């Protein structure tokens, strides 16, 4: 077990808990087929969503327990009213040293200056293809041009940009090599993600045709001298670089779940469900606790209890669910 640092909470498997992924909304302006059904999406009533005040209070309490990094996600974060003001407030919470965001890039461009101003360093941009037609087939909205422009605007503004591309059999595997090629002249990280079963389509579990090994051999078919980079301690991706290229390439084995041993993250859904693993179905609801008048001290103790009962990995978490996976990633935040 690694040496434990005081003031950081370690779970029952000796993993530090330092990172919160905060889904601020379940709404979205795209309909990526791996994430949401095309029609019939039932958004939750606003009264069920955590308010900004509730999120700020929760993050403050978590920061006292050693959470120092927050990633905003969703749904699409920027569709929530006054998101940028909320981000400013989050960035001012003592102990939160790193504030990042995952976004689909449609509304993001106009907030670049403010994100820089508040100290956001890294932006994850979802872009599964470099082909406008395939973008429409995947995201079911004709928004490729704006997302592609946002990518370069973010790079020009000096953000550390990671492009998230979910690899889908028969949909965008032709994009793997062109996406890698983007790293030749741009200091960007392209991260290929194994497709997970969180598509909101009900209880169906896709067979994983493109796992990390297959994605890696596809890349090596064109770039045989691809170099392995050293992965940072809590990295979810295996990272590589084509020699002399400016950017790098990562593969996230989200379905194979090879990264659980170093997992330092928890998730809060837009409705306040706390997830201590991506694959669990929520260990408690923070919204209900806050609205029932819990004190910060009791909230802290509640967090401590659940952190000491984390599943070892995503397989154990999945076995412990009350129901089979049928939810959409918009409710989880990726």
Q: Which residues bind ligand SAM (CB under 6 A)?
A: 28, 34-35, 73-74, 76, 102-104, 126, 164, 166, 193, 195-196, 198-199, 254, 329-330, 333-334
> Taking CB within 5 to 8 Å according to partner kind, which of ligand SAM, ligand SF4, none is near residue 264?
none
Binding of ligand SF4 by 116 (CB under 6 A) = no
> Taking CB within 5 to 8 Å according to partner kind, which of ligand SF4, ligand SAM, none is near residue 199?
ligand SAM
Interface residue with ligand SF4, options 36, 130, 270, 332 (CB under 6 A): 36
> Taking CB within 5 to 8 Å according to partner kind, which of ligand SF4, ligand SAM, none is near residue 198?
ligand SAM
Structure tokens at 84: 């940028």
Interface residue with ligand SF4, options 28, 182, 208, 253 (CB under 6 A): 28
Q: SS3 letters for 144-172?
A: HHHHHHHHHHHHHCCCEEEEEEEECCCCC
Q: At 238, phi and psi to the nearest 5? A: -90, 125
CB atoms under 10 Å from CB of 321, counted, come to 12
Choose between 11 and 128: whose C-beta lies nearer to ligand SF4. Answer: 128
The residue range among 32-40, 55-63, 148-156, 186-194 that interacts with ligand SF4, by the rule CB under 6 A, is 32-40
Residue 149: which of 115, 109, 191, 100 has the closest Cα? Answer: 109
> Taking CB within 5 to 8 Å according to partner kind, which of ligand SAM, ligand SF4, none is near residue 164?
ligand SAM
Contact present, 206 and 215 (Cβ < 8 Å): no
Helix (H/G/I), strand (E/B), else coil: 21: strand
Binding of ligand SF4 by 31 (CB under 6 A) = yes
The CA distance from 69 to 334, in Å, is 16
The CA distance from 298 to 307, in Å, is 14
108: left (phi over 0), alpha (psi -120 to 50) or beta: alpha
> Which neighbouring-strand residues pair with 250?
191, 239
Interface residue with ligand SF4, options 25, 58, 124, 126 (CB under 6 A): 126
69 DSSP 8-state letter = E
Question: What DSSP line would sit under 70-116, residue for residue?
Answer: EEEESS-GGGSTTHHHHHHHHHTSTT--EEEEEE-SSSGGGGHHHHH
Least Å distance between CB 36 and ligand SAM? 8
The rounded radius of gyration (Å) of the Cα atoms in the chain is 19
> Taking CB within 5 to 8 Å according to partner kind, which of ligand SF4, ligand SAM, none is near residue 254?
ligand SAM
Least Å distance between CB 230 and ligand SF4? 29
Choose between 34 and 144: whose C-beta lies nearer to ligand SAM. Answer: 34
The residue range among 29-37, 221-229, 237-245, 270-278 that interacts with ligand SF4, by the rule CB under 6 A, is 29-37
- Dihedral sign of CA atoms 179, 78, 202, 33 in order: negative
Binding mask 44-83 for ligand SF4 (x = CB under 6 A): ------------------------------xxx-------
The residue range among 26-34, 169-177, 278-286, 288-296 that interacts with ligand SF4, by the rule CB under 6 A, is 26-34
Least Å distance between CB 8 and ligand SAM? 26
> Taking CB within 5 to 8 Å according to partner kind, which of ligand SF4, ligand SAM, none is near residue 172?
none
> Taking CB within 5 to 8 Å according to partner kind, which of ligand SF4, ligand SAM, none is near residue 26?
none
Structure tokens at 258: 């090879």
Length of the chain, please? 334
Choose between 59 and 147: whose C-beta lies nearer to ligand SAM. Answer: 147
197 DSSP 8-state letter = S
Contact present, 105 and 152 (Cβ < 8 Å): no
- Catalog residues that contact ligand SF4 under the rule CB under 6 A: 28, 30-32, 35-36, 74-76, 104, 126, 329-330
């Amino acid at each position: 077990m690694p040496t434990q640092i005081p003031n950081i909470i370690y779970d029952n498997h000796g993993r530090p808990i330092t990172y919160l992924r905060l889904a601020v909304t379940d709404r979205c302006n795209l309909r990526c087929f791996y994430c949401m059904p095309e029609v019939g999406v039932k958004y939750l009533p606003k009264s069920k969503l955590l308010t900004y005040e509730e999120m700020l209070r929760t993050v403050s309490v978590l920061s006292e327990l050693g959470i120092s990094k927050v990633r905003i996600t969703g749904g699409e974060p920027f569709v929530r009213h006054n998101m940028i003001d909320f981000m400013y407030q989050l960035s001012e919470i003592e102990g939160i040293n790193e504030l990042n965001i995952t976004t689909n890039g449609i509304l993001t461009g106009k907030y670049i200056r403010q994100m820089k101003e508040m100290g956001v360093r890294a932006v994850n941009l979802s872009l599964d293809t470099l082909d406008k037609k395939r973008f429409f087939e995947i995201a079911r909205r004709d928004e490729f041009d704006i997302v592609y422009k946002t990518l370069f605007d973010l790079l020009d503004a000096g953000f550390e940009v990671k492009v998230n591309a979910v690899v889908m059999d028969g949909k965008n595997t032709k994009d793997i090599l062109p996406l890698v090629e983007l790293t030749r002249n741009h200091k960007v990280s392209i991260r290929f993600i194994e497709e997970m079963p969180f598509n909101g389509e009900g209880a169906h579990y896709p067979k994983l045709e493109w796992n990390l090994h297959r994605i890696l051999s596809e890349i090596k078919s064109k770039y045989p001298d691809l170099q392995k980079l050293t992965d940072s301690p809590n990295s979810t991706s295996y990272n590589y670089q084509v020699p002399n290229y400016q950017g790098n390439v990562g593969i996230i084995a989200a379905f194979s779940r090879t990264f659980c041993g170093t997992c330092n993250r928890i998730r809060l859904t837009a409705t306040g469900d706390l997830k201590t693993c991506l694959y669990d179905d929520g260990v408690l609801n923070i919204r209900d606790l806050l609205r029932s008048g819990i004190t910060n001290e009791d909230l802290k103790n509640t967090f401590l209890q659940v952190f000491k009962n984390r599943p070892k990995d995503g397989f154990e978490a999945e076995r412990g669910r009350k129901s089979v996976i049928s939810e959409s990633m918009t409710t989880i935040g990726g």
